[in-house]
Structure 1
Amino acid sequence: MVREKKCRELGMRVWLQRGTEEQTVTERPASSPGQFQVVVPSQPIVAIVGDDIILPCQLEPATNALDMTVEWARPDLNPRFVYVWRDGVELESKKHFIYKGRTSVSVDKLRHGDVSLKLSRVKLSDQRRYRCFIPTLQYMSSLSSLGVVSLPAIVSINRTSSAVVLRCVSKGWHPEPEVFWLDGEGNLLSPGPTETVRGPDDLYTVSSRVTVEKRHNNNFTCRVQQNNINQTRETHIQISADFFTIPPSSSVYIIIGVIVLIIFCLCSLAFIFAWWKWKQQKPRTTQTMKLEPLIDGERD
């Protein structure tokens, strides 16, 4: 922790540095009737694209801030203001156009010294440092981590000679996430290399394949996670044991069909030949029977 003390006529300003967050606490001299400070978050602020978030700025002890001037600004913008409260009203005209209709403070909470900023429909471009400023009190609030996540989906299941290949896809992530496969006992599996595509909107699509063999419960999980924004999404699938049994291929059915056809043809040919043979022998038998009486008459 780095502390830099600067004495001024109105009070003493103490700057606190924690990791990537720069935070300011203002204290009044001991001789003043009261002492004020800003309560700061101990963890980085995390936002998900499309969600609404709160950038904290709280006066302690609680003090009515309705009559104070409250300014939220982004130093890298021109104009820099993202929200201005002055003389009991919001000055919408002071805002930078990209924040119009997206920033607000709670009037009810202002009465209790809570001047936190609500930022609606977070965008990737919002990942910047914001300053909450009140005369004699100043606090730097940093939107230090910004992300977007989506649920993964197992989009294909293919059989091989002795296993099953699963493919998992998850679209619309920022920053780039990692993909993990787990079995029913939570053990990590060894998938192939993850395919990553970054779209024109700076969002990532990840795809991963894993080959699995028949197991005790055949439960598998595709997990997509981003550690920087502490976000994880996963999907589960249970594969029937019968699915691992490879059915006869179409070629086997074709071979069986051909064999049956050949047998049928041979039987048909044998029947036709037998019938033809019988037809050939029948006239000869009749002719022999007709000639026999004549031979007997001649003998008389």
Structure 2
Amino acid sequence: MCPPAGMGSVPEVHIKGTEDGGVCVVCIASGWYPKPQVQWRDSRGENLSASSETHTEDADGLFSMETTLVVRDRSFGSVTCSTFNPMLGQEKAMAMFIPEPFFPQASPWTPAFAVSMTMMGLLVLGSCCFLRREWRARLQVHQERENLRCEQEELLKTKEHALETACTLQEELDRRKAAYMAGE
């Protein structure tokens, strides 16, 4: 035999603690028939998705429920847990204000550390680019010096060869001149 439709207890809402980067809020209600519809809403009345929801039925056929919600947005301020009896069309609700200190605090050093590491990374990257450019410039100067040295060696060889040729031609000229003078 089913119990008559009935309104159970007003939901009890309390903060369980921090979880998954937010505040875990629990809502418990008992003595409902039929199984109540449970809903979380933010301070603007918009529906929120529960993290978990369980319903149990006791020996008298009355339902109890427990639902949890993880609030990550500090701007909500408060959340409301409501239980609704679909047969009677009636609802019982309880709101819970979530104070700012309950939200997990990010370390104030985290942004400073992130900015410092980014700046250090940019400084190292800039230094690497500067050193690479300097290395390339030195390599280019070294290459140009090597090319000039090779050109000087070639010019010296050409000059020596020209002097040898001039010397040989002068000797040949002197020999022919002497032979011409002797034949006169």
Q: State the TM bucket, normalised to the shorter chain.
A: 0.5 to 0.7
Task: Determine the structure 1 residue equivalent to 2:28.
Answer: 169
Q: Does the 8 Å CA contact 1:156/1:168 hold for their aligned counterparts?
A: no
After superposition, what is the alpha-carbon deviation per residue over 1:21-60, rounded to whole angstroms, capped at 9, x for unaligned?
A: xxxxxxxxxxxxxxxxxxxxxxxxxxxxxxxxxxxxxxxx
Which protein, 1 or 2, shows the higher relative CO under an 8 Å CA cutoff with sep ≥ 6?
A: 2
Within the candidate set 199, 221, 234, 2:58 is matched to 199
- Please say if residues 159 and 246 of structure 1, whose CA atoms lie closer than 8 Å, have aligned partners that are also in contact: no
Within-5 A mapping of 1:144-293: 146-160=5-19, 162-246=21-105
Matches of 2:74 and 2:106 in 1, distance apart? 19
- Relative distance call for 1:231 and 1:198 in structure 2 (3 A) is same
Q: Which structure features the higher share of strand residues?
A: 1
AA aligned to 1:229 is L
Unaligned runs of 5+ in 1: 1-123, 128-145, 249-300
Determine if contact 1:181/1:189 at 8 Å carries over to the other structure: yes
Q: Distance in 1 between matches of 2:78 and 2:15?
A: 15
- Tell me how far apart the structure 2 counterparts of residues 240 and 156 of structure 1 sit (CA, whole Å): 10
Determine helix, strand or coil for the equivalent of 2:102: helix
Q: For each residue in 1:185-228, what CA deviation from the matched residue of structure 2 results, as whole angstroms up to 9, or x when unmatched?
A: 11100113420100011110011011111332411000111121
SS at match of 2:75: coil
CA–CA distance in structure 1, aligned partners of residues 62 and 40 of structure 2 = 22
Task: Kindly indicate whether the alpha-carbon contact (under 8 Å) linking 2:33 and 2:63 is maintained by their aligned counterparts in 1.
Answer: yes
Deviation at 1:161, TM superposition (A): 5.2
After the TM superposition, which segments of 4 or more aligned residues of structure 1 sit over 3 Å from their partners?
Answer: 245-248
Aligned-partner Cα distance in 1 for 2:52–2:98: 23
Give CA deviations for 1:242-291 in whole Å, capped at 9, x if unaligned. Answer: 2213499xxxxxxxxxxxxxxxxxxxxxxxxxxxxxxxxxxxxxxxxxxx
**C-alpha distance in structure 1 between counterparts of 2:14 and 2:20, whole Å:** 20
Q: Report the TM-score, using the length of structure 1 for normalisation.
A: 0.33
SS of equivalent to 1:216? helix
**Structure 1 residues 155, 241: CA separation in 2 closer, same or farther (over 3 Å shift)?**
closer
* Sequence identity percentage: 24
**What is the total number of aligned residue pairs between the two structures?**
106
1:156, distance to aligned residue in structure 2 (A): 3.8
TM-score by length of 2: 0.52
2:101 is paired with a residue of what secondary structure? helix
Root-mean-square deviation (CA, aligned residues, Å) is 2.1
Alignment of 1:38-53 (within 5 A): none
Contact 2:14/2:96 (<8 A) preserved:
no
2:65 aligned partner, one-letter code = V
1:209 & 1:161 partners in 2: Cα distance? Answer: 13
Deviation of the 1:241 alpha carbon? 1.2
How far 1:150 sits from its partner (Å)?
Answer: 1.5
